[in-house]
Structure 1
Amino acid sequence: MGLGEGKLSTTATSLAILDRITDENGATLRELVDETGLAKSTVHKHLSTLCENGYLVKFGETYKLSLHTLSQGRQAIKMRPHFSTVEQRVRELANQTNTEVDFTVEENGRLIIVFESVGSSNGVNFRSGAEFHMHNAAAGKAILAEYPDERVDEILDTWGMPKKTPNTTHCREKLESELVEIKENGYAISDGEPVEGYRSVSSPIMNEDGTVLGAISAGGPTYRVEYSRLSGELAEKVAATAQSLSNDIAKTTIE
């Protein structure tokens, strides 16, 4: 990726290396040299700097993210208004429906999971921070349906529409038509699009100024969540929860 005006190439390179290690669950110096095409000494300097500043740790020959990044992730959530309220409602909806419920937001054209709760167990949130494309996830489509056309085009132009499964919508014209219907219905459905055998329904949560805060979704494996339930009962509950949260956010802002 090229560098724009005002960007520091050294910083961009360090961040690219950090992202690579994150995506691959760790990497060696040799692997990073091969993948980046940079000189071994250059990559080593970046790795040493990231280690010295607490972003990476070295296990044998492999560099991995340090646990220091956990506190940054938690702090990022604390900095966002209304997220604590949404987290509580995610747990409540998971309990009520005994499905997998999550709250996601869009940042830099990507869909990021912030909170997740699994059925009545309220299991540990292993997917917090996971990123996805917008075009094939129910939450991504629910958010895109609220965006102006220019922003939708910008996201799709940047990240494309890769066909993850046979069910993935990868035609822009078809997606645009789908977004109109989603806007009218108040919810989006994804049936085996980002992941085969998984379906979900999602509705957007709105800020007081009419912009999108994020989306709340409910779903699960196809063997546990029938499509009729997804498009019926779950769609109604998800849309109602999203509307209730949007109303609560508006009231909190006014007060």
Structure 2
Amino acid sequence: MGNSTNDSKQIQSIARAVSILEHLALNGNEDSLSNISRTIGLSKSTTYSIIATLEQLGLVQQDQVSARYSLGMKLFEWGQVVHSSMDLRKIAVPPLQDLVAKYGETAHLGVLSQGEVVYIDKVDSQHSIRIASQIGGRNPAHCTGVGKMLMAELPAIEIDKILAEKGLTKFTEKTVTDPAVLKQHLCKIREQGYAIDDEEIESGLTCVAAPIRNHCKEVVAAISLSGPTHRMNAENLDQIIADVVSTADLISAHLGYKR
């Protein structure tokens, strides 16, 4: 168990750091140490200690001439990631809606975060039985269509890191739990340009995923179409794969990707 006193101090420190960042953001993004400390109600020594840590992390920077502080480039970089995700969602949803309209199954837009899949958008199935997932929800990468698609595009060292940190939890009889076998699957996925979750995270559920690339040809996300295996079967799976891949290509083209 954690120490409640230490936990409270940590929370207080985080809150103070956020107050400093908010102050800079709302007050012209540049201010002196004395004015920052006065405005947020902390001593100069305490304020300096927090700012020094924020500066080490790249969240705050100091002008060497005026000695005034402003928000650091790290926040700009993070903001660009959020902005890109928002743009991606706006671009991706209409094609995903078309995909769902054609097949009546559930479509997802996902990214990798800390070795797991995070769904940043979703278009629900038209059927009464729907996929139990939510925007912002997380799933393991090794047994999901989006996760395997995104892992397949990573350098080997990154794949090994995910496997070491997350392991290969078994969810169904079809879940791949052997690292060597999974790596073979990822190699095939990378070559063919799409991934299939064949009841690997949930029995009776099949998923087809394809990558989204930006103007630099980097894979930034993946889309998927998921539904009951009895509806996504040998009779229509090839066409579903083709349509998921073409939908991903369309979204990629809107992001500036050219083959």
TM-score tier (shorter): 0.5 to 0.7
Distance across 2 between alignment mates of 1:126 and 1:182? 24
Q: The residue matched to 1:82 in structure 2 has which SS? A: helix
Q: Which of residues 85, 89, 95 in structure 1 aligns to 2:91?
A: 85
C-alpha deviation, 1:119, in angstroms: 3.0
C-alpha deviation, 1:120, in angstroms: 4.3
- Letter aligned with residue 113 of structure 2: E
- Letter aligned with residue 226 of structure 2: G
What's 2:124 paired with?
118
What's 1:187 paired with?
194
What's 2:253 paired with?
247
Distance 1:126 1:217, change over 3 A: closer
Distance 1:49 1:91, change over 3 A: farther
- Match status 1:206 vs 2:213: yes
Distance 1:147 1:49, change over 3 A: closer
- Match status 1:152 vs 2:116: no
- Match status 1:238 vs 2:230: no
Q: Which of residues 142, 150, 166 in structure 2 aligns to 1:143?
A: 150
Output the aligned Cα RMSD: 3.0
Per-residue CA distance 1:189-239 (angstroms, 9 max, x = gap): 111111122110101111111221111101212233324423x11111001
- Letter aligned with residue 112 of structure 2: E
Q: The residue matched to 2:216 in structure 1 has which SS? A: coil
Identity value in percent: 24
- Letter aligned with residue 248 of structure 1: H
- Letter aligned with residue 248 of structure 2: A
- Letter aligned with residue 38 of structure 1: G
Q: The residue matched to 2:148 in structure 1 has which SS? A: helix
Q: Is the 8 Å Cα contact of residues 116 and 125 (structure 1) preserved in structure 2?
A: no
Distance across 2 between alignment mates of 1:222 and 1:124? 12
- Match status 1:97 vs 2:103: yes
Distance across 1 between alignment mates of 2:131 and 2:239? 26
Listed as ranges, the matches of 1:35-114 within 5 Å are: 37-42=1-6, 78=83, 80=85, 81-114=87-120
Distance across 1 between alignment mates of 2:236 and 2:150? 22
C-alpha deviation, 1:124, in angstroms: 11
Q: The residue matched to 2:255 in structure 1 has which SS? A: helix
Distance 1:45 1:118, change over 3 A: same
Q: Which runs of 4+ in 1 moved over 4 A?
A: 40-51, 75-79, 123-126
- Unpaired stretches in structure 2, ≥5 consecutive residues: 19-79
Q: Is the 8 Å Cα contact of residues 131 and 227 (structure 2) preserved in structure 1?
A: no
Aligned positions, number: 193
Q: Quick check: which has more Rg, 1 or 2?
A: 2
What's 1:32 paired with?
none
- Match status 1:168 vs 2:168: no
What's 1:196 paired with?
203
Q: With structure 2 as the length reference, what TM-score do the two structures score?
A: 0.65
Distance 1:92 1:209, change over 3 A: same
What's 1:33 paired with?
none
- Letter aligned with residue 119 of structure 2: I
- Match status 1:178 vs 2:178: no
- Match status 1:134 vs 2:141: yes
C-alpha deviation, 1:105, in angstroms: 0.5
Distance across 1 between alignment mates of 2:213 and 2:157? 19
Q: Is the 8 Å Cα contact of residues 115 and 125 (structure 1) preserved in structure 2?
A: no
Q: Is the 8 Å Cα contact of residues 142 and 188 (structure 1) preserved in structure 2?
A: yes
- Letter aligned with residue 241 of structure 1: T
- Letter aligned with residue 212 of structure 2: I
Q: With structure 1 as the length reference, what TM-score do the two structures score?
A: 0.66
Per-residue CA distance 1:9-40 (angstroms, 9 max, x = gap): xxxxxxxxxxxxxxxxxxxxxxxxxxxx1235
